[in-house]
Structure 1
Amino acid sequence: MRTVMASRSFPATFVGMLAPFLIWAAHFGVVYSINGMVCARKPEGALLFGLPLSMALVGIATLLAMGWVAILLVKALRGAGPAGHVGGADPRRFARWFVVAGSGAALVAILWVGTPALIVPACG
């Protein structure tokens, strides 16, 4: 009898392995969308949590993206991961290694995108 995990398809496993990079890509798009909308609308003096609107929204997006990637990293380090259903140890080990390496790279990339947007004012 097959379990639900055993019936997981290759595309689902592959997307799970690419999840850190997909989160980074989404964060990249969100950060530049926020700054683009703020530049287009020019909400003078708009504050959120005592910060300029764009900085607050970018900060929230950055924290959410980093938190999500950190969860993936911890899960992969604990032995869970996208290839948990695979019978052989080598594919599982590779998938976990790929998620750990990808999570590390994604965390650096998220900081690389988020930090300038937090330091330099939008449209500045």
Structure 2
Amino acid sequence: MAAALYFVTNTLRMLSGVLIWGAHFGVVYIATALVCARGVQNLSWLGVGIVAWMVTIATVMAIAGILIILVPAWWNLHRHRPQSATPAFIDWMTVSFGGLALLAIVWVTFPVMLVPIC
């Protein structure tokens, strides 16, 4: 049972950046679709549209979530020399997938901010 728990927790840790990006992708595009379907795309607060606010909040939360996972893995990878290859591989994959997820979040955010809604 301990081996299965170790496998699941490490797999989720390695893929956490991709999972957070997937949640961000879903929130951004579902929120945009709902705003368009309800016809409230012209709502604004402080001169900024409601979709831009939702995307900004979702993006900041997603980036913060990824950095919470990525920074300790980066620290472990470059500060501590692990005795075996497995912890180094797990940290390396966490940092790699987290970096790719950060790039994906930027690529998801740009079209929503630059292209007119609806």
TM class by smaller structure: 0.7 to 0.9
Q: Would the alpha carbon gap of residues 47 and 13 (structure 1) be closer, same or farther in structure 2, given more than 3 Å must change?
A: same
**Paired AA for residue 56 in structure 2:** G
**Match of residue 61 from structure 2:** 64
Tell me the TM-score normalised to structure 1 length: 0.81
CA contact (8 A) 1:58 1:114 kept: yes
Q: Work out the number of aligned pairs and report it.
A: 113
Tell me the TM-score normalised to structure 2 length: 0.85
Question: Among residues 11, 20, 34, which one is paired with 1:14 in the alignment?
Answer: 11
- Structure 2 stretches lacking a partner, 5+ long: none
Question: Among residues 54, 74, 77, which one is paired with 2:74 in the alignment?
Answer: 77
Measured against aligned partners, the alpha-carbon deviations of 1:21-67 in whole angstroms (never above 9, x if no partner) come to 00001001001011100110111531134311011101110111111
Are residue 114 (structure 1) and residue 109 (structure 2) matched?
yes
**Paired AA for residue 94 in structure 2:** V
Moved over 3 A (4+): 5-8
- Larger helix percent: 2
CA contact (8 A) 2:43 2:49 kept: yes
Measured against aligned partners, the alpha-carbon deviations of 1:77-124 in whole angstroms (never above 9, x if no partner) come to 1118xxxxxx9621100000001111110000000001111122320x
CA distance in structure 1 between the aligned counterparts of 2:95 and 2:113, rounded to whole angstroms: 26
- Structure 1 stretches lacking a partner, 5+ long: 81-86
